[in-house]
Amino acid sequence: MISTYTEGDTDPCIGSGKEDDVCTKLARGGPNNATYITGFTILDREHTAIVGIEDLGTQLTVQVDGKRLLLDPTVHSNALVQNWQFPSKDGNSLNVSWERYDAYHAAPQVNFTARAATYTIWLNYEQQGRPARLTRTDSNPVINAGPSDRVNPTAAGFGGRAFEVSDLDSDSVYCLLSSPFHQVGARIVKAGPDNATVYMTGMGIMYKEHEILVEVNNDGSGVILTIDGQDLKLSNGWFEDSWTYNCQTGGSVSVLWQLYRPLLGNTVEITTDVLSMTIWLVPARKENIAVNVPPYLNAETTVLQDINDTGYFQGMLGETYDRFIAGDAVKTKTSPLYLPDDNKFHGIGKRAQYKMDSYWDTNHTFALYNATSFPDEALRLREAKNLPQPSAAIFNDAQAYTNWQPAPKAVDKKRLAIVLSVLLSALVLSSCLCFVVGYHRHNIRKAFRLPRALSASLKLPLHYERHQDSHKT
């Protein structure tokens, strides 16, 4: 679980003694005073790497084991990459690769190949009043699911395997993913010459008590973004903005909306404690004289934690996570988890069982959202196909994954009593002084012949009393 801290607080990674951890530095700013990431601390064996943002907000700062790494200023190239190796006591090393400008993210990027994961960190430049900020992905344990082709509609599960879904019903909502605190439903439409090409025109994401809806607008020129029934709007002239919503049981969900995200364009990124979903609009286009492609949504889903629970995710996309964590079993023909290389969806149930009544339907066959036990029908289907049964701890694990808010500090009753006694004594002493000063002010003025301006200040308590009397009246 990633630890967070803010400017002025102690970095929880420093001095922790851990050999595999990540701590995130947070700051607030921008038009909505939203939370942004301004630094990462990565612990790898005996090494400590820190990534921040330089003062101008146009480049990264990288430090390893207390020494700042510097890009060679004599080399001028957009593709400049510099590499460092930091040997470890176990015979391996922490590898650092820093790109002055990464074409994919259109920004500076640094990669750390550590023992437990490969961390990729890049810079989002300051834009339209939003401060410069950092973004991070991990190649492991972070797992992506989404189209490698960012223009044409495709379906790909965790691990990157593409599959065909052309036999879905048009203008229907299907469950892509369901877990104890998450659910993702997508509205499917069909178009094309033979009405066989499948497109997404809307996605409904539920996280704890929050409901987020992203849909293509009526004229196809943009998206409509709704959270808990309230339309979010970009301020006039703003190209991007972000919002953060806390959850009653801990954790939070953040929403970043960018009209011009590099390579993707109009994009909404939704991040919870477990998942990150990037949803972007593919504008309408004409492929040839006879074929008009409608505007539609593409999406990529990322798991942000190393979840090893079989059955933690359900749904057409969620089920593919089981096969990802199964490893080589998907290549073994005698295994029930075997996946033939036929570009087809091999799910637990039939297509119709993934259909939902609406984006917010939680009564479908594979619904795990807000459940306390695994659905009987889903268990029966898994058993019929000899698939591994879900972990008994799946729902307890879900609470741990998503509830990161620190517990309130216990009150030290003895110290509290001492503090209250001191405050009470100070209050009594103050009252006594006010009485003495009020009673003797005439004698004080006469004895010391104080100027009127100074003696007037001694009338403050009485002036205050008269103010209170007039207020009561």
Whether the pLDDT of residue 406 is over 60: the answer is no
Q: Are residues 128 and 158 in the same domain?
A: no
Residue 408 lies in a domain: no
The predicted structure's pLDDT at residue 362? 92
State pLDDT tens for residues 208-253.
999 999 999 988 888 999 999 999 988 766 778 888 898 888 888 9
For 25-34, 238-247, 250-259, which range has the lowest pLDDT when averaged over its residues? 25-34
The predicted structure's pLDDT at residue 205? 96
Q: Are residues 354 and 261 in the same domain?
A: yes
- 121, 136, 151 - which closes a domain: 136
The predicted structure's pLDDT at residue 175? 93
Average pLDDT estimate for 445-455: 35
Whether the pLDDT of residue 448 is over 50: the answer is no
For 81-85, 179-183, 266-270, 326-330, which range has the lowest pLDDT when averaged over its residues? 326-330
Residues 6 or more apart in contact with residue 379 via CB below 8 angstroms: 389, 390
Residue 67 lies in a domain: yes
Whether the pLDDT of residue 124 is over 70: the answer is yes
Rounded Cα–Cα distance for residues 428 and 419 (Å): 14
The predicted structure's pLDDT at residue 472? 33
Q: Are residues 371 and 452 in the same domain?
A: no
The predicted structure's pLDDT at residue 393? 83
Give exposure, 178-189, as e/b (b: 16+ Cβ within 10 Å).
Answer: bbbbbbbbbbbb
Residue 121 lies in a domain: yes
The predicted structure's pLDDT at residue 141? 41
Average pLDDT estimate for 25-54: 87
Peptide bond into 388 cis (omega under 30): no
Rounded Cα–Cα distance for residues 309 and 372 (Å): 15
Rounded Cα–Cα distance for residues 94 and 111 (Å): 10
Residue 407 lies in a domain: no
Whether the pLDDT of residue 373 is over 90: the answer is no
Domain boundaries, position 239: 143-402
Q: Residue 1's pLDDT band (boundaries 50, 70, 90)?
A: low
The predicted structure's pLDDT at residue 145? 54
Residue 409 lies in a domain: no
Q: Are residues 47 and 108 in the same domain?
A: yes
Residue 202 lies in a domain: yes
Rounded Cα–Cα distance for residues 473 and 461 (Å): 18
Average pLDDT estimate for 259-263: 76
- 91, 112, 136 - which closes a domain: 136
SS3 content of the chain, % helix, strand, coil (to 5): 20, 35, 45
Q: Are residues 96 and 164 in the same domain?
A: no
Average pLDDT estimate for 9-25: 90
Q: Are residues 173 and 302 in the same domain?
A: yes
Q: Residue 435's pLDDT band (boundaries 50, 70, 90)?
A: very low
Match 């517990």 to its residue by tokens. 407
In percent, how much of the chain has pLDDT > 90?
A: 25
The single-letter code of the amino acid at 359 is Y
Rounded Cα–Cα distance for residues 108 and 123 (Å): 6
pTM of the model: 0.61
Q: Which residue has the higher pLDDT, 192 or 178?
A: 178
State pLDDT tens for residues 300-310.
888 888 787 88
Whether the pLDDT of residue 127 is over 90: the answer is no
Residues 6 or more apart in contact with residue 72 via CB below 8 angstroms: 80, 82
State pLDDT tens for residues 46-65.
999 999 998 878 889 999 99
Residue 291 lies in a domain: yes
- 136, 167, 194 - which closes a domain: 136
268 and 255 in contact (C-beta within 8 Å)? Answer: yes
Average pLDDT estimate for 137-149: 51
Q: Are residues 389 and 431 in the same domain?
A: no
Q: Are residues 154 and 76 in the same domain?
A: no
Give exposure, 407-425, as e/b (b: 16+ Cβ within 10 Å).
Answer: eeeeeeeeeeeeeeeeeee
Q: What is the mean pLDDT of the chain?
A: 78
Whether the pLDDT of residue 433 is over 50: the answer is no
In percent, how much of the chain has pLDDT > 70?
A: 76
The predicted structure's pLDDT at residue 152? 52
Average pLDDT estimate for 167-189: 91
347 and 356 in contact (C-beta within 8 Å)? Answer: no
Q: Are residues 357 and 374 in the same domain?
A: yes
Task: Please give the helix or strand (H or E) that residue 457 lies within, else none.
Answer: helix 452-457
Q: Are residues 120 and 169 in the same domain?
A: no
Instruction: Give the Å distances, CA to CA, from 144 to 109, 151, 174, 339, 400.
Output: 19, 17, 20, 18, 22
Q: Are residues 124 and 55 in the same domain?
A: yes
Q: Are residues 234 and 92 in the same domain?
A: no
Helices 460-472 and 413-448: crossing angle in degrees, nearest 10, is 110
Residue 427 DSSP SS3? helix
Average pLDDT estimate for 409-420: 49
Tally of domains in the chain: 3
Residue 435 lies in a domain: yes
Q: Residue 84's pLDDT band (boundaries 50, 70, 90)?
A: very high
